[in-house]
Amino acid sequence: MELQTLQEALKVEIQIHQKLVAQMKQDPQNADLKKQLHELQAKITALSEKQIFIPHTFFLSFVCRCAGKKHVTFDLCLERVPHGLTLTSSCLNLTD
**pLDDT confidence of 73, banded at 50, 70, 90?**
low
- Cα–Cα distance measured from residue 23 to residue 34, given in angstroms and rounded to the nearest whole number: 10
Query: What is the greatest pairwise CA distance in the chain?
Result: 62
Q: Any bridge partners for residue 74, and if so which?
A: 92
pLDDT at 81 over 60: no
pLDDT at 6 over 80: yes
Give residue 83's identity as a one-letter amino acid code. H
Give the angle 9-41-3 at the CA atoms, nearest 5°.
25
pTM of the complete model beyond 0.75: no
